[in-house]
Amino acid sequence: MRMIRSSNPAMSGAIFERISDTAGKSGAMTINGTINKIGVLLLLVIAGAAYTWKMTLGENPAAAQTYVMIGAIGGLIAALITIFRPRTAGVTAPIYAILEGLFLGGISAIINAKYQGIPFQAVILTLGTLFTMLFLYRSGRLRATPRFRRGIIMATGAIFFAYLLSFIFSLFGVTLGFLHSSGPIGIIINLVVIVVAALNLILDFDFIEKGAGMSAPKYMEWYGAFGLLVTLVWLYIEFLRLLSRFAGRD
């Protein structure tokens, strides 16, 4: 099979290289099947988010923070298992969705308590971006050409490296102010990251379409849905950050 590459680690073309020998033995991946799986995962995210949202704004916010930490750490573990063992995606992808929901619900409730309505706005912006990029992809206005793919991979890698450095420095009490400030530089950086995250959706759509065209195994529908969800979660968090920065400037 021809290798497909994406800057989303869950959508690496090496995945198809590893499972090519099993393609077609247990049914084939389809676009409609993947869309159905995406719908299921989004419902699970909403369910998990509703639980910690209600708990955070209710009578037990301390317990909610525990669930938020479980969601953050558990979601990372579930994501890594899914990436390295795609066959398990039918189980691990739903688990990832629930855990990410727990995490997102808690942090969204905290932000909403400080800046009313921002999480709802971030959801609308995320969905709007998803459908806009899908339209641009389906209409042929944006295609995952080799040059386009290389550019997005490089940009995503740079963002990951910057965030990793910020996390490491924070462990020693050092803050990279330009990444977290509400000033013009912080907002511009946030906007650039959002654009890169949105363009990653084009690579994800391409990955799913070509995977279906290659008749990848049926379980890859769950894997493809998981990979797209990873990008959507990233995009939502970045919109939360951006809207919070604008609100903080008032």
Residues 98-121 pLDDT 10s: 999 999 999 999 999 999 999 999
C-alpha pair distances (Å), 121 with each of 84, 185, 189, 240, 243: 34, 22, 20, 8, 8
List pLDDT tens digits, range 168-223.
877 777 776 666 667 788 889 999 999 999 999 999 999 999 999 998 999 999 99
Measured CA to CA, the distance from residue 137 to residue 88 in angstroms comes to: 29
pLDDT recorded at residue 20? 52
Band of pLDDT at residue 1, cut at 50, 70 and 90: very low
